């Protein structure tokens, strides 16, 4: 029987003026983007951390520290490609990924399919192995006041070793 492992990821970024909003590698029209050292793609960051956690490989901040100027404005999809390379080297495959984007604004429903396809492409899986849900902050807290976006992710990976 092959080994199955679960990982969880979480990321949160405040909004920042004069930045592009990117989630799951997809540019989302909005008046603000997310603050961060890289492209601040909170969805992709949470996915990376879930995968790294499932493999017991630390976290994204350790691999791509904000203190390193080489990672300034780096595409988070490139970070995810690196994590997928580690997944492959460790002989694991992604069974499924489930995510929740917590955002009062902008409305993200029209972009869910594009985000799923973008992540599935980099993850080298079928689109039905990637799920993205969006929840509002119901006007409560940082999310509800439209100060930023938070993302939760959970994944199941399976060992290819027999």
Average pLDDT over residues 26-32: 97
User: Rounded to two decimals, what is the model's pTM?
Assistant: 0.96
For 4-159, which CATH superfamily applies?
2-C-methyl-D-erythritol 2,4-cyclodiphosphate synthase (3.30.1330.50)
Residue pair 47/125 in contact by the 8 Å Cβ criterion: no
45-69 pLDDT, tens digit each:
999 999 999 999 999 999 998 899 8
CA distance 31 to 18: 8
pLDDT at 75 over 90: yes
pLDDT at 2 over 90: no
CA distance 64 to 146: 27
Residue pair 162/99 in contact by the 8 Å Cβ criterion: no
- Give alpha helix (H) positions in 19-111: 42-54, 60-63, 76-89
Long-range contacts of 64-72 (CB under 8 A, 24+ apart): 64/38, 66/36, 66/37, 71/37, 71/38, 72/37, 72/38
Mean pLDDT (the chain) is 96
111-140 pLDDT, tens digit each:
999 999 999 999 999 999 999 999 999 999
Average pLDDT over residues 86-98: 97
pLDDT at 151 over 80: yes
* Orientation of helix 42-54 relative to helix 76-89, angle to 10°: 20
CB neighbours of residue 76 within 10 Å: 26
pLDDT confidence of 161, banded at 50, 70, 90?
A: confident
CB neighbours of residue 52 within 10 Å: 21
CA distance 117 to 131: 10
CB neighbours of residue 152 within 10 Å: 18
2 vs 10, higher pLDDT: 10
Note the pLDDT of residue 1.
57
């Amino acid at each position: 029987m092959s080994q199955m492992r679960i990982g969880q990821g979480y990321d949160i970024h405040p909004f920042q003026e004069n930045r592009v909003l990117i989630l799951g590698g997809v540019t989302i029209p909005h008046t603000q983007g997310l603050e961060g050292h890289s492209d601040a793609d909170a969805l992709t960051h949470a996915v990376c951390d879930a995968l790294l956690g499932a493999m017991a490989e630390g976290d994204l901040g350790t691999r791509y520290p904000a203190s390193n100027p080489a990672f300034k404005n780096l595409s988070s999809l490139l970070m995810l490609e690196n994590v997928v390379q580690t997944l492959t080297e460790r002989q694991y495959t992604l069974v499924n990924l489930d995510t929740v984007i917590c955002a009062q604004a902008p409305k993200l429903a029209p972009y869910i399919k594009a985000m799923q396809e973008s992540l599935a492409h980099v993850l080298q899986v079928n689109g039905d192995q990637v799920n993205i849900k969006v929840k509002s902050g119901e006007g409560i807290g940082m999310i509800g006041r439209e100060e930023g976006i938070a993302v939760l992710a959970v994944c199941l990976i399976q060992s290819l070793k027999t």
